[in-house]
Structure formats: C-alpha cells, structure tokens
Amino acid sequence: MTRVAVVAAPDYAGAGDVVRRALELVGGAERFAGRGDIVLVKPNLLAPRKPETAVTTHPAVVDAVLGVLADLGAQAVVADSPGLGTAGRVARVSGVAAVCRRHGVEVVDLADGPVAMAHGRVYKAVSVSARVLEADRVWNLAKWKTHTMMGLTLGVKNLFGSMPGRRKVRLHFRAGRTPETFAQHLLDLEGAIRPAVTLLDGIVAMEGPGPGRGQPLDRGLVLASADAPALDWVATRLSGFRPDDVPTVAVSRRTGRISPDRIRVVGDPAAPIRFRPAPGSPCDWRLPAPLRSLARALTAPLPRFDATTCTGCGVCVEGCPAQALAPGSPPRLSPRQCIRCYCCQELCPTGAAWVPRRRMLSLGGRPGRRRPG
C-alpha cells in the first residue's frame, strides 16, 4: 500500500510544522535520508519570479526541508535547470537563495556540468545531470500548478528540470509531439531518478495559463509521498480533474506504474477544488482517451503573440524545440512546424506569448474564456 499524505496549511507561516507532519505520515524523515547522505533537493525553479506569483516552490517549504535534512545530519544541495534564467538568478528572485545561505547550502545549476545516461521506455538512453544520479538521495519539491501541455505540473513533471538545459529542448521536440509520449518520457525520468520522497507545495497553487503565467490559488495543502506518480494521482483528483485529464497520471495507470486501489490517503480531509485549466491543455476539454490524439491534431490551438508586450528578446525563439519561430517583435510562427508544446508561452518573460482556447468546444467542456486583458 502506497501512502500519500495530505496536510492542511492555511499559510506559509507554519510550513515547517506542516512539512514535518507530512513526512511523519509517510514513514518519517529518517526513512528518506540519513547522517552523511548527500541529498539533492530539487525544487521547481522555473523562472525568476517572486514567491507570491506561485511560479516556484515557496522558500518557506525549501527552508523547512533544509531544516529537516540538517537535523538528520545529511548534506543538502539545492539544484535545478530553469526554463528561463540561471538557477542562481531564479533562486535569488524567488527567495530560495536567501534560505540556502542561511543553511549554508549551495545552489547548483543543472544546466552545467557532466551528463549521465539512464534507460527508459521511450528512448533507450535518457540524459540526466550526473549530479542528480550521483546523489545518495533526491528530495523532489514540486509546485502545484496547471500546465498548458500536460494539464498539471506536479511531482513527475518537476523532475524534467533534472535534464541539462539544451537537452530539455531537444527532448521536447523528440517526445513532445503528443502529450502521452512526453508523459512516458517524464515517467522514464522518474524511474531513473527514483526520488526518495516527493513533496508538493500547494499552500498557494496556480490555476489558469500555467506554469508561468497563471493566477495564484489558495489551495492550503501540502502533499507528500515516496511515490511521485501516486502523489500526482491524488493531486489530480483534488484539482477537480479526472485522472485521464493529466497525461502523466493516465500513462502511469495504463502501464501499471500505479494502482489507485493500492493508494492510501492519510492526514487531513480535503475536498476537491476545480482549478481553472490552462487554455489548450488536456484538462481544458473532456473526451474519451481513444479519441484524444485525433482530436488534439484537429483542435490544438497555435500559440499567439501580443505585439504590444513583446520585446523581441528572442527567448521563445531560442527555446522552441521545433524551431518553428523566427526572430521578430513579435516572432514569426511557422504553423506547419509547430508541435503545440507551448514552450514559448511557458518561457516568455513578458507574457506576450499566449494560448487561446481550443478551436471547438469539447464534449462536457466549459464555456470558453476571453484572454485576460
């Protein structure tokens, strides 16, 4: 039986007690690290945003985890490969760097350094930062957010930052043509890394056009589990979505990676709250799974660009896995090359890239919304 802890947390002031209780509910912190262990702590450091935007793992949660590891006598290092900017800059803006300095912990950019290879089901060789695989333990500190391509970014998706920067772009192109193929690759990564524990920061979550431009949502929960896919299944239901709405959860069920009847939820009672889905995401419509691939090909919207807010910085052009964008203000899009991964929307520092609702309403879907602003 796999345990997933759900702990109520009204705000970040009590994050330390909340994290410790969540760990106790899934076996105790000592189950996941010991004295002398080198523990790589992998938060979500997507982009240089302040904590109140809910883009990154909140520094109070990182602070709590580093405190627990210090008590255990473990040696922690905080590491990620951000989508935008360096790990050092993202950590400074998000408040994580100040926490690390207080604990005497290094912030490492996984975009640099040696690469190790692991085996997967989608590709025989999966590139992962050697720092991740060489650590004695990995503690996965995810952020609870909607995601334009994957519906939700939770524990499994958070591990994508374990790949060095440019390799993420190439992999997005190779595995990102369908959400299901990309989901299987993410599960390959999770299987290669095998995080000792996953904690999900949902005290303030994100809904809408996530993972970088959504709106904060007071969810008031922290989840913990030794099994990231099981945690994601619980979080998906608590987000008001069906398990098949989120490709990583759907694939993990279909391949037998998780069995819902073997998942035990412990801790505080929590009712689902329907998140506002990211426009264009799998959670933005409802169709039977066999029809999704065909329907996505027919209805997945192309990203759009707002000329009034675009600065011509070129971040989207550089980060486009399919090389479907040409420099400009706004950039020029080749519809034939676009694979609808929406990396441009995820990485755009000004919010000029955005994704409209699907071109036709889904069965059982909700009415469309106008783009904010």
* pLDDT for the residue numbered 257: 94
* pLDDT for the residue numbered 211: 94
* pLDDT for the residue numbered 315: 87
Report how far residue 14's alpha carbon sits from residue 10's, in angstroms, rounded to the nearest whole number.
8
pLDDT beneath 50: ranges in the chain: 360-373
Angle at 86 between CA 282 and CA 220, to 5 degrees: 50
Report how far residue 260's alpha carbon sits from residue 337's, in angstroms, rounded to the nearest whole number.
38
Angle at 94 between CA 25 and CA 183, to 5 degrees: 60
| Parts of the chain belonging to CATH 3.40.50.11440 | 2-267
Letter for the amino acid at 29?
A
User: What sign results for the dihedral spanned by CA atoms 257, 365, 235, 15?
Assistant: positive
Q: Which fold has domain 302-354?
A: Alpha-Beta Plaits (3.30.70)
Report how far residue 145's alpha carbon sits from residue 210's, in angstroms, rounded to the nearest whole number.
6
Q: Taking Cα atoms as reference points, which of 155, 224, 275 lies closest to residue 15?
A: 224
Strand blocks (E) in 238-343: 263-267, 304-305, 325-326, 332-333
Q: What is the reported pTM?
A: 0.86
* Tokens coding 9: 């947390």
Concatenate the DSSP letters of all residues of 118-138 into one string.
E--SS-SSEEEEHHHHHSSEE
pLDDT tens digits, residue range 233-285?
999 999 999 999 999 999 999 999 999 999 999 999 999 999 999 988 888 76
* pLDDT for the residue numbered 128: 87
Q: Taking Cα atoms as reference points, which of 115, 210, 109 lies closest to residue 161?
A: 109
Q: Which fold has domain 2-267?
A: Rossmann fold (3.40.50)
* pLDDT for the residue numbered 294: 56
Report how far residue 217's alpha carbon sits from residue 339's, in angstroms, rounded to the nearest whole number.
29
Report how far residue 209's alpha carbon sits from residue 271's, in angstroms, rounded to the nearest whole number.
23
pLDDT tens digits, residue range 37-72?
999 999 999 999 999 999 999 999 999 999 999 999
* Tokens coding 240: 């008001």
* pLDDT for the residue numbered 229: 98
Q: How many CB atoms lie under 10 A from the CB of residue 290?
A: 8
